[in-house]
Amino acid sequence: MQPYYISTTYNHSTRRQRNTDGIHIGASTGINITHAKIGTGDDCISIGDDSHEITVTDVTCGPGHGISIGSLGKYKDEKDVTGIIVKNCTLTNTDNGVRIKTFPDSPSPSAASGIHYEDIIMVNVSNPILIDQLYCPYTQCEQKSPSKVKINNVSFKNIKGSSFTPLAVKLVCTTGTPCENVELTDIDLTYAGDKGPLTSMCSNVKPTIIGVVKALGCATSSLAPLPLSKK
């Protein structure tokens, strides 16, 4: 199969509109998104189940909800996500940065692996680095059991810029199948607000940490269940 390229795309809607993803990919292999400028009310780019060998480069995102894998794990018999590269992108004034999101209480097991974010610039971004396995928007689910989406082989490298929230790195994995082989390398994020010091949180994951200040390197760690996330 020949790779498929998407470039020079611009979308715009007000930032509060729901389900207005700029680009959504699912059940696809060999997609390249490059040199795109996207502003929307939801994810600038979302990558759903059964996506493989997807490359996102030189994308400008904002406003919007960031560049996301998922949401995954909501429906029965979802297929794995593998081989995702997001590189040389800039996110500005977005509600999230680079994110992996999965629902709790997944009806079927699946996996997301080989996901790599590198050379990313954040400008006033909330939740710049986020793994959220308690994703539950608009209270549409209950925390009956942990997510069954296995997250493995994920890296965040050379991510720099400013966070709008003091919690700049949040890795919340499932108690049932904790994340494995997660790497944080050369993370340099600042926070200039008045809601507390710059910090990070990791739950059910023990990432490899290289070139990261203590505040961003899992300053708080937990193996206990956490409340559902509704954003």
Point out the residues that are catalytic. Answer: 42, 65
Backbone angles phi, psi at 138, to 5 degrees: 60, 30
Estimate to the nearest angstrom the gap between the alpha carbon of 120 and the chain centroid.
Answer: 12
State the DSSP code for 77.
T
Structure-token pair, residue 123? 């400008």
In terms of Cα–Cα distance, which of 203, 205, 204, 199 is closest to 217?
199
Structure-token pair, residue 68? 């996301």
Helix (H, G, I), strand (E, B) or coil at 139: helix
In terms of Cα–Cα distance, which of 136, 155, 152 is closest to 73?
136
Torsion of CA 51, 174, 65, 77, to 10 degrees: 30
Contact partners, residue 217, CB within 8 Å, separation at least 6: 169, 184, 187, 200, 209
Estimate to the nearest angstrom the gap between the alpha carbon of 139 and the chain centroid.
Answer: 20
State the DSSP code for 83.
E
